Amino acid sequence: MSIYATLWQLKFPESGDNYPGCEWITVIAQAVPPHIGSPTPGCGYEDRDPYGAFLPPPVVTNEDGEADYMRAVVFVTEGTPKGTERSPQEYVQPLLVLAGEAYARMTFEALHTQLCDALRGDRPQAVLTYLAPDGRITTHFEDGTRQETAR
């Protein structure tokens, strides 16, 4: 049984930047409900939190295992494997892991920026796309490199 519940799936530019000719990838937001690992009596984790090594701290819940916020939201790309030496529930190289309260309080713009930065990794950011009169499209990157795309 999984500790995750899918919140949403959206397409993002695979390289973190939207420009003509870029590839797109599905990003999935996986929520970890508040009762998972909660020290609240009755949630089943009074003795230990088996997910503390890879998730934000557990959430105190009411007696029904409910709280105002999820424990965490983990963002992965479609096909990201789950299961490490540490835990079969841990995603291998998630894009981003947020505490549930941080996710709930974050604007979509801020979340989008963090996810695109994670997708981009150490590659340079696209800063300009130029459409020439002859139909050629050139995307310029912050490190001075360019990529031409036929229209």
Same domain as 104, residue 33: yes
**Count of domains in the chain?**
2
113 secondary structure, DSSP code: H
Same domain as 64, residue 13: yes
Same domain as 115, residue 132: no
Determine the average pLDDT of the residues in 3-17.
96
How many residues appear in the chain? 151
Same domain as 23, residue 62: yes
Determine the average pLDDT of the residues in 18-28.
93
* Residue-wise pLDDT tens digits, 78-133: 999 999 999 999 999 999 999 999 999 999 999 999 999 999 999 999 999 999 99
Same domain as 58, residue 44: yes
Coil, strand, or helix at residue 109? helix
* pLDDT above 80 (res 150): no
Backbone angles phi, psi at 119, to 5 degrees: -65, -35
119 secondary structure, DSSP code: H
* pLDDT above 70 (res 151): no
- The boundaries of the domain holding residue 51 are 5-120
* Residue-wise pLDDT tens digits, 24-82: 999 999 999 999 999 999 888 988 999 999 999 999 999 899 999 999 999 999 999 99
* Burial readout 99-111 (b: 16 or more C-beta within 10 A, e: otherwise): bbbebeeeeeeeb
Same domain as 72, residue 11: yes
